[in-house]
C-alpha cells in the first residue's frame, strides 16, 4: 500500500566561500523546514561550497570527505532531533584519487552511523564550459535505486541526471514515490538575455515530464546567487576564474504525478519550499494514465545501444 501523506521541503539557498558556514546554514535551514512541517527534505547539489567545478584545480580535492563523515555527522544530529529524512549531496572521498558526487539519504529511524539509510552516486557527469565535473567526479557505479525510508520510497538523482529519462524511469520502476533532483544549474550571464528563459523552461519541463511519465512526485532543488567558485580552504581563499561566473537560476519546484506545480520558488530568493504530497495520488494517476502497464518491454532492446545506425 502507498505510504501516508508527507510534507516535502526543498532548501533553495545561496553559498558563500566558507564550507563551514555553508554547512551551518544548511543545518539551520533544514531544522527550520522541519519545524514548518516538512518531514522529507532535500538540499541543493554540493551545498557545502560555491560551485567549484567552474575550473580544474587539484587543490579543491581538499573539499572531499568520507560518507559517513563530518557533514553527515553534523546533519544527522538535526535529522534525529527533528525526526525527519534528509537528502544531502556531498563531494565523497571514496579512496585516494577516487571521488564521487554523492547524495546521502539520512533517516532518523536508521541505527547505522550518522543515520545513513543509503546513498546514490551521480551517474551522468557533464563536461561543459564552467561545468568541468569530469575532472572531479567518477561516474556512479551503484546504479539507480529507490530507498525504503520512514517517509516512504525515495529516489535521488543529481543535476545532469535530470536530462535522462532512463534514470528517472528505472528509479521509479524500483518503487520510488518521490524523485529528488538536487541541482546546481545556472546561466552564463552573457547568454541569459537570449537563452535564459528557454533554458529554464527546458529544465522545468524535463523534470515535470519525469513526474508525468512515471506517475511520481518530483522535487527539483537548485541554488541561487552569482558565483565565481571562490572556496576557503585551510591555506586561505582560492578564487574562482575571473570573468562572468555563473548566475544560478533557483526556480526550485515540487510537481505532482500529473505534472502540476505544487510549489515553486523565485529565481533570486533563498526559499524553504514546502508541499504536502499524498502517495495515493500516484496510484490513482497511474490507473488513469497506465503508462507502466502499456510499456512494450519486449521492444526496447535498442535503448542500451549508443546509437542505432
Q: Does residue 159 have an active-site annotation? A: yes
- Does 120 fall in a domain? yes
Three-state DSSP class for residue 293: coil
- Does 283 fall in a domain? yes
Q: How far apart are CA 28 and CA 15, in angstroms?
A: 14
- CB contact at 8 A, 38 and 274: yes
Of 53, 159, 177, 227, the catalytic one is 159
According to the model, what pLDDT value does residue 112 have?
A: 84
Q: Does residue 166 have an active-site annotation? A: no
- pLDDT tens digits for range 123-135: 999 999 999 999 9
According to the model, what pLDDT value does residue 234 have?
A: 97
Q: 180 - beta bridge partners?
A: 156, 219
pLDDT-derived band at 1, boundaries 50, 70, 90:
very low
- Does 146 fall in a domain? yes
Label residue 62 exposed, middle or buried (CB < 10 Å: 0-12, 13-18, 19+). middle
Sequence-separated (6 or more) residues with CB below 8 Å from residue 298: none
Quick check: 2 pLDDT over 60? no
- Does 74 fall in a domain? yes
pLDDT-derived band at 3, boundaries 50, 70, 90:
low
How much of the chain, in percent, has pLDDT values that exceed 90? 96
The mean per-residue pLDDT over the stretch 18-24 comes to 98
CA atoms within 13 A on the CB side of 202: 11
CA distances in angstroms from 68 to 15, 49, 222, listed in the order given: 22, 18, 24
According to the model, what pLDDT value does residue 54 have?
A: 97
For residue 216, give the nearest of 251, 275, 166, 173 by alpha carbon: 173
Q: Does residue 45 have an active-site annotation? A: yes
According to the model, what pLDDT value does residue 158 have?
A: 98
Domain tally, the chain: 1
- pLDDT tens digits for range 65-120: 999 999 999 999 999 999 999 999 999 999 999 999 999 999 999 988 899 999 99
- Does 265 fall in a domain? yes
- Does 187 fall in a domain? yes
The mean per-residue pLDDT over the stretch 256-285 comes to 97
- Does 1 fall in a domain? no
- pLDDT tens digits for range 145-204: 999 999 999 999 999 999 999 999 999 999 999 999 999 999 999 999 999 999 999 999
Of 6, 25, 119, 122, the catalytic one is 122
Model pTM score: 0.96
- Does 277 fall in a domain? yes
C-alpha cell at 48: 557545502
The mean per-residue pLDDT over the stretch 199-211 comes to 98
According to the model, what pLDDT value does residue 173 have?
A: 98
Q: Domain of residue 224: give its range.
A: 6-291
User: Any idea what the CATH number is for the domain that residue 48 is in?
Assistant: 3.60.110.10
Of 6, 25, 42, 45, the catalytic one is 45
Bond preceding residue 88 cis, omega within 30 of 0 = no
Quick check: 13 pLDDT over 80? yes
Amino acid at each position: 500500500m502507498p505510504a501516508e501523506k508527507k510534507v516535502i521541503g526543498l532548501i533553495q539557498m545561496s553559498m558563500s566561500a566558507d564550507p563551514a558556514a555553508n554547512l551551518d546554514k544548511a543545518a539551520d535551514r533544514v531544522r527550520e523546514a522541519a519545524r514548518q512541517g516538512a518531514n522529507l527534505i532535500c538540499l541543493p547539489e554540493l551545498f557545502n561550497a560555491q560551485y567549484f567545478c567552474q575550473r580544474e584545480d587539484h587543490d579543491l580535492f581538499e573539499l572531499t570527505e568520507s560518507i559517513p563523515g563530518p557533514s553527515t555527522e553534523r546533519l544527522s544530529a538535526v535529522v534525529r532531533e527533528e525526526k525527519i529524512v534528509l537528502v544531502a549531496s556531498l563531494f565523497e572521498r571514496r579512496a585516494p584519487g577516487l571521488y564521487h558526487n554523492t547524495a546521502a539519504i539520512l533517516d532518523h529511524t536508521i541505527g547505522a552511523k550518522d543515520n545513513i539509510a543509503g546513498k546514490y552516486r551521480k551517474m551522468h557527469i557533464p563536461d561543459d564550459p564552467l561545468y568541468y565535473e569530469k575532472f572531479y567526479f567518477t561516474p556512479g557505479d551503484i546504479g539507480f535505486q529507490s530507498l525504503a525510508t520512514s517517509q516512504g520510497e525515495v529516489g535521488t538523482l543529481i543535476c545532469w541526471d535530470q536530462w535522462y529519462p532512463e534514470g528517472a524511469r528505472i528509479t521509479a520502476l524500483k518503487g520510488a514515490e518521490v524523485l529528488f533532483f538536487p541541482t546546481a544549474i545556472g546561466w552564463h550571464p552573457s547568454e541569459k538575455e537570449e537563452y535564459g528563459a528557454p533554458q529554464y523552461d527546458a529544465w522545468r519541463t524535463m523534470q515535470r515530464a519525469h513526474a508525468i511519465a512515471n506517475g511520481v512526485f518530483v522535487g527539483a532543488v537548485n541554488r541561487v546567487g552569482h558565483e565565481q567558485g571562490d572556496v576557503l580552504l585551510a591555506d586561505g581563499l582560492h578564487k574562482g576564474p575571473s570573468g562572468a561566473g555563473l548566475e544560478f537560476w533557483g526556480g526550485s519546484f515540487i510537481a505532482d504525478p500529473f505534472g502540476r506545480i505544487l510549489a515553486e520558488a523565485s529565481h533570486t530568493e533563498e526559499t524553504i519550499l514546502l508541499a504536502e504530497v499524498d502517495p495515493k495520488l500516484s496510484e490513482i494517476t497511474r490507473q488513469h494514465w497506465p503508462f507502466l502497464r502499456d510499456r512494450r518491454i519486449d521492444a526496447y532492446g535498442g535503448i542500451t545501444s549508443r546509437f542505432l545506425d
